[in-house]
């Protein structure tokens, strides 16, 4: 067995004095990174919204410095508050047609899709089909900032949806080995299984949201993360969210 930790929606502010919805997001991230679960993890996956609001190289440099200290392999995906080229430059990741779409082999077969433009393009679908082909006969995990299905979040399910996400689902549900999709963006924990694929949404390290169709509210400010345990041979997955009180 090996374990992955998904952290999401860090919303790190440009200056240490700034707050995101009243939260010291640098301190929240540090609390998560100091947990036993993180220190025992085989890899850390960051699923976007690294920046509080607007992307800035200093924000990415700060995040890189605190992740590097953990001495755990980590992988970064941008969210809608991030900029792919800046993220790639600071973290030293190669861009693929201007995006951070890529596959990773270790410690698990993983597919990373960059949804930071909030739109699904034909080259994203082409990338996904090629990735599924590459991992043919295996059970890759898919990570993408935006949820690919509704997550019982009235505001996010109507106003903050990745355009064309149904096309990604069509590719996933028509073949290939993906059985688990991990997203962030909605600042809440949610899982549902449709057509044999489990769609998970992970919590934020900053604050948790609930919403009405008109607005978003904070439900609490306990930093959270998702633990993903993978069985290496058959690719079975066990996952749960953890909050720090």
Binding site for Fe ion (CB under 5 A): 49, 79-80, 185
Q: Are 149 and 194 in contact (CB under 8 A)?
A: yes
Question: Which is closer to Fe ion, CB of 109 or CB of 202?
Answer: 202
Q: Which residues contact 110 (CB under 8 A, 6 or more apart)?
A: 45, 75, 103, 104, 140, 141, 142, 143
CA distance 45 to 64: 13
SS3 state of residue 130: helix
CB 39 to Fe ion: min, Å: 27
Question: Which is closer to Fe ion, CB of 79 or CB of 224?
Answer: 79
Question: Which is closer to Fe ion, CB of 4 or CB of 52?
Answer: 52
CB 102 to Fe ion: min, Å: 20
Question: Which is closer to Fe ion, CB of 185 or CB of 226?
Answer: 185
Altogether, the residues listed in the chain come to a count of 245
CB 97 to Fe ion: min, Å: 22
SS3 state of residue 171: helix
CB 49 to Fe ion: min, Å: 4
CB 21 to Fe ion: min, Å: 13
CA distance 44 to 94: 18
CA distance 194 to 110: 20
Question: Which is closer to Fe ion, CB of 80 or CB of 96?
Answer: 80
């Amino acid at each position: 067995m090996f374990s992955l930790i998904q952290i999401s929606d860090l919303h790190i502010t440009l200056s240490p004095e700034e707050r995101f919805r009243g939260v010291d997001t640098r301190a929240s991230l540090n609390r998560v990174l100091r947990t036993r679960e993180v220190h025992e993890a085989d890899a850390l996956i960051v699923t976007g919204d690294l920046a509080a609001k607007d992307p800035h190289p200093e924000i990415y440099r700060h995040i890189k410095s605190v992740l590097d200290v953990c001495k755990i392999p980590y992988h970064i995906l941008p969210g809608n508050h991030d900029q792919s080229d800046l993220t790639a430059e600071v973290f030293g990741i190669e861009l693929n047609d201007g995006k951070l779409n890529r596959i990773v082999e270790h410690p698990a077969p993983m597919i990373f899709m960059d949804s930071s433009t909030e739109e699904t393009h034909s080259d994203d679908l082409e990338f996904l089909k090629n990735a599924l082909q590459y991992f043919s006969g295996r059970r890759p995990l898919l990570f993408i900032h935006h949820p690919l299905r509704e997550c019982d979040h009235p505001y996010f399910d109507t106003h903050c949806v990745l355009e064309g996400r149904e096309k990604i689902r069509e590719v996933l549900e028509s073949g290939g080995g993906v059985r688990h999709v991990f997203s962030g963006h909605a600042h809440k924990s949610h899982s549902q299984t449709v057509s044999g694929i489990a769609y998970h949404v992970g919590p934020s390290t900053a604050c948790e949201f609930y919403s009405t169709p008109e607005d978003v509210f904070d439900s609490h400010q306990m930093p959270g993360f998702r633990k993903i345990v993978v069985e290496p041979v058959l690719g079975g997955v066990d996952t749960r969210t953890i909050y720090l009180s």
